[in-house]
């Protein structure tokens, strides 16, 4: 499957044709969930691979064997990517699934299901920067152009996988319709990995003893994952990901957007954010002020520095 220049459009959202077909998207939107499934949901570049690693390790009681011998797409396949049915046919035990699809496309399939859903969100400014760099490497994504051009498409929601705003609002505002739902942010994972792993293990009802928790944290640290070819995407051939243009495990930092955004871009972003999130009660902790590099003409207040955790579990 090459289709590197193909764009697949499904319900007005575009997807890279290299990994998605009309059939694969239809399969995902009609997926038959099992109550024992765990579904990781993210907008791209929000910490998907990181959560796949955490869930894999938590489910294996901290044993790194599976995480170090099986690529992430084989142990936690994306529902909407064309190879998913084959991977699931070959897999045994409880399934870990991944998706970037917006809520409305999976809502019918999830109705009545007791699958456990983990939603990972990340500061959209860091998402935009990470996504921009990934466009430069991934030959199955369109040309990113300049950062300004990319940011404009990101804010409009015309990039692949659609609008960040619609994605995060769609999933979080419908959390009440999902039987078991855990909301967690990349920032929480970065600031307190131990507490984040404990939240995931509690949610999945996979308790870890201290040794297992330590082993999990070690294997899912940025440094370990950067070295692990099962998650750092170095297994993907050069003609699909150009490894000379950058690394998938790029920086792994929070608040690093300040090193890319101009003051003007930040103002535009904040205005769009305020308007697009006006109908959302979700508040985020995006960064810790002391850890954030100074921005030349930084405003005194940041509207996004409040914290909100959403978690629903109905036994």
The secondary structure of 207-224 as a DSSP string is ---HHHHHHHHHHTSHHH
Q: Closest distance between ligand A3P and the C-beta of residue 235, in Å?
A: 15
Indicate the burial class of 131 (C-beta count within 10 angstroms; 0-12, 13-18, 19 or more).
buried
Q: Closest distance between ligand A3P and the C-beta of residue 225, in Å?
A: 4
Nearer to ligand A3P, 113 or 199 (CB): 199
Q: Which stretch binds ligand A3P (CB under 6 A): 44-52, 57-65, 205-213, 284-292?
A: 44-52
Q: Is 100 a catalytic residue?
A: yes
Q: Which stretch binds ligand A3P (CB under 6 A): 10-18, 86-94, 107-115, 216-224?
A: 216-224
Report if residue 252 touches ligand A3P, rule: CB under 6 A.
yes
Angstrom distance (rounded) from CA 259 to CA 106: 36
Q: Which stretch binds ligand A3P (CB under 6 A): 55-63, 81-89, 221-229, 233-241?
A: 221-229
Letter string b/e over residues 265-299, b meaning 16 or more CB atoms within 10 A of that residue's CB: bbebbeebbeebbeeeeeebbbbeeeebeeeeeee
Please identify which of the residues 18, 20, 100, 133 carries the catalytic annotation.
Answer: 100
Report if residue 220 touches ligand A3P, rule: CB under 6 A.
yes
Nearer to ligand A3P, 206 or 249 (CB): 249
Angstrom distance (rounded) from CA 224 to CA 212: 16
- Nearest residue to ligand A3P, using CB? 252
Report if residue 47 touches ligand A3P, rule: CB under 6 A.
yes
Q: How many chain residues bind ligand A3P (CB under 6 A)?
A: 20
- Residue whose tokens read 């792993």: 197
Task: Identify the H or E element spanning 13.
Answer: strand 13-16
Angstrom distance (rounded) from CA 171 to CA 181: 10
**CA 156, 158, 163 angle in degrees (round to 5)?**
65
Q: Please identify which residue in 24, 29, 38, 48 interacts with ligand A3P, judged by CB under 6 A.
A: 48
Nearer to ligand A3P, 103 or 186 (CB): 186
CB-based contacts of 231: which residues, under 8 Å, 6+ apart? 49, 52, 53, 67, 71, 72, 225, 249
Which string of x and - marks every residue 163-202 that binds ligand A3P (by CB under 6 A)? ---------------------------x------------
Residue 11 CA to its chain's centroid (Å): 21
> Which residues of the shown chain bind ligand A3P in the complex (CB under 6 A)?
42, 44-50, 126, 130, 133, 190, 220-222, 225, 249-252
Residues tagged active-site: 100
């Amino acid at each position: 499957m090459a289709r590197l220049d193909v764009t697949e459009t499904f319900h007005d959202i575009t997807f890279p044709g290299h990994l998605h077909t009309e059939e694969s998207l239809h399969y995902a939107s009609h997926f038959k969930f099992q109550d024992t499934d765990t579904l990781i949901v993210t907008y791209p570049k929000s910490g998907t691979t990181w959560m796949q690693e955490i869930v894999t390790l938590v489910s294996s009681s901290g044993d790194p064997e599976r995480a170090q011998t099986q690529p992430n797409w084989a142990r936690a396949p994306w529902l909407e990517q064309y190879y998913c049915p084959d991977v699931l046919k070959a897999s045994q035990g409880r399934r870990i699934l991944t998706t970037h699809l917006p809520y409305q496309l999976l809502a019918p399939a999830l109705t009545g299901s007791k699958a456990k859903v983990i939603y990972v969100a990340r500061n959209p400014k860091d998402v935009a920067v990470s996504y921009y760099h990934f466009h430069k490497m991934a030959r199955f994504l369109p040309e990113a152009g300049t950062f300004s051009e990319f940011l404009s498409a990101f804010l409009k929601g015309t990039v692949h996988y659609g609008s960040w705003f619609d994605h995060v609002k769609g999933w979080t505002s419908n959390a009440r319709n999902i039987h078991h739902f855990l909301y967690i942010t990349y920032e929480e994972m970065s600031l307190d990995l131990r507490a984040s792993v404990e939240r995931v293990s509690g949610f999945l009802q996979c308790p870890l003893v201290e040794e297992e928790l330590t082993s999990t944290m070690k294997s899912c640290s940025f440094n370990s994952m950067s070295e692990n070819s099962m998650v750092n995407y170095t297994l993907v051939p050069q003609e699909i990901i150009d490894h000379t243009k950058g690394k998938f495990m790029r920086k792994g930092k929070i608040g690093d957007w300040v090193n890319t955004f101009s003051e003007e871009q930040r103002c535009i972003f904040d205005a769009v954010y305020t308007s697009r999130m006006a109908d959302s009660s979700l508040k985020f902790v995006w960064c810790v002020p002391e850890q954030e590099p100074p921005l030349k003409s930084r405003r005194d207040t940041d509207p996004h520095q409040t914290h909100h955790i959403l978690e629903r579990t109905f036994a």
